[in-house]
Amino acid sequence: MNRTVAVLGPGAVGGALAVRLCLAHVPTICICRTETATAMQYAGLTLEFHGKTLAAHPRVVDRLEEPVSLLLVTVKAPALEEALDRIDPASVTHGAVLPLLNGLEHMEPLRSHLGPRLIAGSLSHFQAYRVGRVQIVETIASPIVTMASEDLDQDELEDVAALLRNARVEVRIGQSEKRVLWHKLVRIAPLAAAMSATGRSIGQLRDDSEWRRRLEEAIGEACAVAEADGVQLRVASQWAIIDQLPDDLTTSAARDIAAGRRSELDAIVGAVLRAGERLGVQCPTLAGLAANAGLQ
Overall average pLDDT of the 27-33 stretch = 94
Question: What is the architecture of the domain spanning 5-174?
Answer: 3-Layer(aba) Sandwich (3.40)
Task: Tell me the pTM.
Answer: 0.95
| Dist CA 74 CA 253 (whole Å) | 14
Identify the DSSP state of 266. Answer: I
CA distances in angstroms from 144 to 72, 121, 164, 236, listed in the order given: 14, 10, 10, 21
Q: For 65-109, what is each residue's pLDDT tens digit?
A: 999 999 999 999 999 999 999 999 999 999 999 999 999 999 999
CATH number assigned to the domain covering 179-292: 1.10.1040.10
Q: Write down the pLDDT at residue 139.
A: 87
Q: For 127-185, what is each residue's pLDDT tens digit?
A: 888 888 889 999 887 899 999 999 999 999 999 999 999 999 999 999 999 999 999 99
> How many CB atoms neighbour CB 263 within 10 A?
25
Residue spans of the domains in the chain: they are 5-174, 179-292
Which of the four pLDDT bands, split at 50, 70 and 90, describes residue 1? low
